[in-house]
Amino acid sequence: MVRRALSPRALLRSLRVWPFIVLGLAVMSVMLLVADNARREADRARKAQVAYEHLRARSIAISALMGKGLREVLIHRRPAARALPAIIADGIRVYGEMNRALNVATENAPGPRNEAIQRRVRELYDIGTRALGQVERSLAAATRMAEGEFEPALRRLDREIEAARRSQEAVANAANDRARRSLYVSLGGGVLALVSLTLLLERSRRRSRIEAEVREVERRSEERIRALVERSSDVVTILDPKDRRIIWQAPSIRRMLGYDATDSLGRQVDEAVHPDDLLRVQRGLMRCSSGGGHQMIACRMRHADGTWVHVEAQVEDRTDDPAVQGLLLSLRDVGERKALEERLRYQSFHDPLTGLANRVQLRERLAEALQQAAEGDHKVAVVFVDLDDFKTINDSLGHAVGDTVLRTAANRISGALGAGELASRQGGDEFVILIPRVDGEDAALATARRIHNALSPEFVVDDRELALTASIGVALDDGSTPPDEMLRNAEIAMYAAKEEGKAGIRVFEEALHRRVMDRLELGAEMPQAIENGQFFLEYQPIVELATGRIVGMEALVRWQHPVRGRIPPYQFISLAEETGAIHPLGMWVLREACRQFAELRERSSGRDHLYVSVNVSTKQLRDPDFPDRVAEVLEETGLPASALVLELTESLLVDDREEIMVQLERLKALGLRLAVDDFGTGYSVLSYLQEFPLDLVKIDKSFVDDIHIAPDKAKLVAGIVQLSDSLKLKVVAEGIEEQAQAERLREIRSPLGQGYLFSRPVPLEQVEDLLAQGASAAAA
């Protein structure tokens, strides 16, 4: 295309326009420069303004973190060492964001205001760090620091930020005004107008972007706070302090009580509180709204399904807070804790096996009953029940059977009691019944007899019928005796009933207490009595029933007390078992019997068939060194082992059989013989006997008493004799007192016998005469 040359006129016109064009361009350039500078200044001011908005959002987050930290420790009861590290880490991160936002503000709007804000930020950091650090040492101090220092510092920071933001807003507005005026001037030229329009559009876009960023910051802050509230295990609720109506409630109420938060708005909180707890809740809310500070209220609240939920409410008066304007409640479900507390309380006051009251509950109730009796005109009774021979059942049939018997006995005892009477298990087979109000002894004995009758029927366990009796002691008091002493009195009465033949009832008397004291004194004197030679032996012959010949002697220990006189064995043998004196006493009896019999055998011939029988206690046999001590005694005294018989109690055969078997085999290895004493009084059977290295079976006196007039007893003893003979065991019938009994035993071929019919126990000096006349005495 051919370009046309300008005509002179056209060129002239263009030259005239150039000054205007140049002037316009110059004006446009100057205005553009002025507008650009104003725009830059406005942009910096807006950036600073955004940075201050960031600072404000971070300060809100710091406040939320501080509240969360205190709530975690104070309300949630979480240990500070677990709750605070994560919160402190979030706080450090937020403080870092605040510093970065402040750096942006300083870059875009330097000046003294930023230095003041910097000081406030540092001040807030220091106070927050110290407040959270105080939580581990003192929650109260941390709370006061948060309220007295942290919140004021936060408000001072907010004021500084707001002032700085407004200042930058003013700067931005002024700069925008200058830019706008410059653009208006540049509108004289088209290029200037176009540039001005472009600048205006760009400025609008930048401003929209800044506003969007501000809104996004605000949205994230609100969502973060909402998430903390909704995901918390606690339910935040705001009440109107005047009528206790619910103003706001967190959605997490659905997890706790099963209904939506919106369902409860405008309703009184009283409607959800258990009627029994309502007065306490109302008083707590009133105290809080009347300047009572923080209040902790425990109550039950209705679940949507109609059940009751145990909750704890931390209440704070926040009516002065514009964001709350009411009572702030933080509700926590404590149902699991309450259930655990109830289980622990039940376990601490009840016996786990029987479900009866235990020692702790009994003593508390007894102390209360005695105090009431001291203030009134009635008495308190304690009934002490001990199951006779329960240990034999437990040892012979196993602990499972024993536990079943105890549970059955507990049920029978409970069923025999009247209203207000308390049954407890003290341990083992001992039960104590508290009668908190009784008129006199007859009423207490009536309860004791009901218990006695309830325990009389046989116990059926695993198709096995067990006959069980109980010894019962009764103590009464008018409130002048301490609880422990009253329990002791009832126990003393129970032991008196047991000593009188078991299966009886005995009321406590002072004489019984004196008897117990005498028993304690005897126990203390026994070791010295052994050393001083106060014990001596008597012997009772064991004869062949068919010939009347004396084949052995049972050594029986006696105590000649220098003050009390002769003390019967039943008063000190069990005492020796309890005090441990049975070990030295038992060894003295064994050594003395072996020594005396060795000398007796040496003094005359024809007595090599004689043996001496010595009783051995359970505690002696359990001593691992006992067989070695027996060997030492035999060697020391020179008595042949074949002339020694050791008598064992029947219960040993079913109690720790493996341990006892080892001990018996070691004793048999010495060459002596072993006998089972009082056979038939426990729960052994003859089949047990073949498992042990035994030689003799001594039938208890209770089987012999009526053997001459009771055919069934005679058949039973005959069966024992026949079975023992098949097991190569010799039978000794104890307690023969009448000639008719001896004749009946001869008829059933019982080989050996022992009893008053032949001789009472005699001292060593009379044994020689007894041996000389033994045959004629038996024949008579």
Please state the rounded mean pLDDT for residues 96-121.
80
Confirm if 548 and 775 have CB atoms less than 8 A apart.
yes
What SS3 class is residue 50?
helix
Give the pair of three-digit tokens for residue 707.
């053997």
Q: Is the pLDDT of residue 667 over 90?
A: yes
Q: Residue 28 has what pLDDT?
A: 65
Q: Residue 222 has what pLDDT?
A: 46
Of residues 321 and 743, more confidence is placed in 743
Q: Is the pLDDT of residue 540 over 80?
A: yes
Amino acid at 206: R
pLDDT in tens, 321-362: 777 778 888 888 887 777 776 776 777 788 889 999 999 899
Q: Residue 136 has what pLDDT?
A: 62
Q: Is the pLDDT of residue 188 over 70?
A: no
**Which pLDDT band holds residue 12 (cuts at 50, 70, 90)?**
very low
CA distance 196 to 32: 8
pLDDT in tens, 374-421: 998 899 999 999 998 888 788 778 888 889 999 999 999 999 998 889
Q: Residue 227 has what pLDDT?
A: 47
702 to 138, 498, 777: CA distances (angstroms): 76, 18, 24
Kindly report the CATH number that applies to the domain delimited by 235-340: 3.30.450.20
**Which pLDDT band holds residue 462 (cuts at 50, 70, 90)?**
confident
CA distance 304 to 300: 13
Q: Does domain 521-700+756-779 correspond to CATH entry 3.20.20.450?
A: yes
CA distance 213 to 633: 105
- With vertex at residue 108, the alpha carbon angle to CA 104 and CA 111, rounded to the nearest 5 degrees, is 100
Of the listed ranges 14-28, 203-217, 258-272, the least confidently predicted one is: 14-28
Which residues are within 8 A (CB) of 778 and not within 5 positions of it... i.e. 6 or more apart? 543, 545, 547, 548, 549, 758
270 to 285, 316, 377: CA distances (angstroms): 11, 17, 46
Among the residues of 638-780, which ranges form H helices? 657-668, 686-689, 701-704, 711-726, 739-747, 764-779
Confirm if 594 and 544 have CB atoms less than 8 A apart.
no
HSE, side-chain direction, 13 A CA sphere, residue 220: 12
pLDDT in tens, 275-308: 988 888 888 888 887 776 677 888 898 888 888 9
Domain boundaries, the chain: 15-231, 235-340, 350-508, 521-700+756-779
- Of 3.40.30.10, 3.30.70.270, 3.40.250.10, 3.90.420.10, the CATH number of 350-508 is 3.30.70.270
| b/e burial code for range 70-91 (CB count within 10 A of at least 16 → b) | bbbbbbeeeebeebbeebbebb
**Which pLDDT band holds residue 464 (cuts at 50, 70, 90)?**
confident
Q: Residue 185 has what pLDDT?
A: 74
Q: Residue 379 has what pLDDT?
A: 93
Please state the rounded mean pLDDT for residues 152-167.
80
509: closest CA among 482, 490, 481, 484?
A: 490
Of the listed ranges 132-146, 361-375, 577-591, 642-656, the least confidently predicted one is: 132-146
pLDDT in tens, 471-502: 999 999 998 889 999 999 999 888 888 877 78
pLDDT in tens, 542-598: 999 999 899 999 999 999 999 989 988 888 888 888 788 899 999 999 999 999 999
CA distance 120 to 619: 83
Fill in the DSSP letter of residue 350: B
Q: Residue 336 has what pLDDT?
A: 77
Give the pair of three-digit tokens for residue 624.
């691992």
Q: Is the pLDDT of residue 92 over 50?
A: yes
182: closest CA among 360, 344, 36?
A: 36
| b/e burial code for range 646-685 (CB count within 10 A of at least 16 → b) | bbbbbbbbbbeeeebeebbeebbebebbbbbbbbbbbbbe
Confirm if 682 and 700 have CB atoms less than 8 A apart.
no
User: Token pair 């959605």 is at which residue?
Assistant: 251
**Which pLDDT band holds residue 779 (cuts at 50, 70, 90)?**
very low
Q: Residue 84 has what pLDDT?
A: 65
Of residues 154 and 136, more confidence is placed in 154
Q: Residue 13 has what pLDDT?
A: 45
Of residues 197 and 566, more confidence is placed in 566
Q: Is the pLDDT of residue 139 over 50?
A: yes
Of residues 745 and 63, more confidence is placed in 745
**Which pLDDT band holds residue 14 (cuts at 50, 70, 90)?**
very low
Would you say the CATH fold of 350-508 matches that of 235-340?
A: no
